[in-house]
Amino acid sequence: MKNRIAIYIPSLRGGGAERVMVTLANAFVSSGYYVDLVVGKADGSYIKDVSEEVAIVDLDSRRVTTSLPGLVRYLRRAKPNALLSAMVHANIIAIFANYIARSEIRLVVSEHNTLNSLLKTVSWLRREKWLPFAMRLMYPKTHGIVAVSKGVADELSMITNISREKIDVIYNPVVINYSFPPHTNRITLHPWFGDDQPPVILSAGRLTPQKDFTTLIYAFAKLLTKYQARLVIMGEGEQRNALEQLIQKLNISDKILLPGFVDNPREWMQCSSLFVLSSSWEGFGNVILEAMACGLPIVSTDCPSGPAEILEQGVWGRLVPVGDFAGLAEAMYLTLHEESHPDVVLRASQFSVEKAANKYLTALGMM
């Protein structure tokens, strides 16, 4: 009889952790396991990416905390062999639910971001100072803890007082087997991708303070003083109006595009000349790997944590200090002028779905 694996996340909205969990669910199914993707609310852009062989279990809850009763009922009814959860609030609920259900499953929680940075900058999280205490109390009750980067693991160890050796680091996977669109699709995607157009610099992420697109826009404005280019920032979020006002203030509205959330960002990546990550912090930086899988040269801030691990301290792309718009502009300029670039596809291939899935299956006691 095949083992059943449950994956619990708040929703299927567009975020790095959610995308990773969908990728893992599909990989587990391909490896011969029954997989239930248990979500607080079954909505979001990633629903279409879930394999038909993965069962989506909708707990129909608006908030993570209110999904607790539904998760308890699911554990008692379905009796999966293992449960994997992602992100701090969902992890705590998963631990509570497992305790209340008195289930004998193997429970593994995964952390995808640095909590201290979130607590300092995300307004609604500032009110939740209880989180570190809850993590210290609850995380030791799990069978395994996974962090998506060494930096996240180091911080998690300090917050929970759990030995660093007991926290597994499993880097997020990236899908490599894609097909480039025909060349004629470039102009259809956007006129900026025509042969006679300046190079397009690409960035992506939620329009929030964490991604620090303000610094990127100032850096791009400085770059334009000596080099013609275009900038596309894919994503949606609370800072859209502020960013649009900044772009207008700098008088570069005709050179920057904010297309919102894009269903297939790889189409844009395959047509662009450079990818830039300007974040103040990351848990890992999935989008860097996505861009590298498409062959894009990389410029990134050396933020905690993930980008420096992916780029091996600058071997595979330039790293600049967080918030340094002048340094970011210079790094973009130098990278765009280089005649050759590191083989970033080769580096991206080291973060395969199969490798990550096997490591998670080991943590879940399935291998």
- The tens digit of pLDDT for each residue in 24-62 reads 999 999 999 999 999 999 988 889 999 999 999 999 998
Residue 341 and residue 358 share a domain: no
Give the C-alpha separation, 308 to 310, whole Å.
Answer: 5
Residue 214 and residue 90 share a domain: no
Q: List the single range of 64-73, 174-183, 312-321 with lowest mean pLDDT.
A: 174-183
Question: Is residue 207 one of the residues assigned to a domain?
Answer: yes
Residue 302 and residue 210 share a domain: yes
Alpha helices in the chain (DSSP H): 16-30, 68-78, 88-101, 115-121, 123-126, 131-138, 150-160, 185-189, 213-223, 240-249, 265-271, 286-293, 307-310, 325-337, 344-348, 353-363
Give the C-alpha separation, 22 to 47, whole Å.
Answer: 9
Which tokens sit at 360? Answer: 């998670």
Residue 198 and residue 326 share a domain: yes
What are the strands of the beta sheet with 298-301, ordered from one edge?
256-260, 230-234, 200-204, 274-277, 298-301, 318-320
- Asked if residue 337 lies in contact with residue 290, where contact means CB atoms within 8 angstroms, the answer is no
| 219-238 average pLDDT score | 97
Range of the domain at 225: 185-350
Residue 269 and residue 201 share a domain: yes
How many domains is the chain partitioned into structurally?
Answer: 2
Segment 176-210, tens digit of pLDDT: 765 544 444 677 889 999 989 999 999 999 999 99
Residue 200 and residue 161 share a domain: no
| 290-303 average pLDDT score | 96
Question: Is residue 18 one of the residues assigned to a domain?
Answer: yes
CATH number at residue 289: 3.40.50.2000
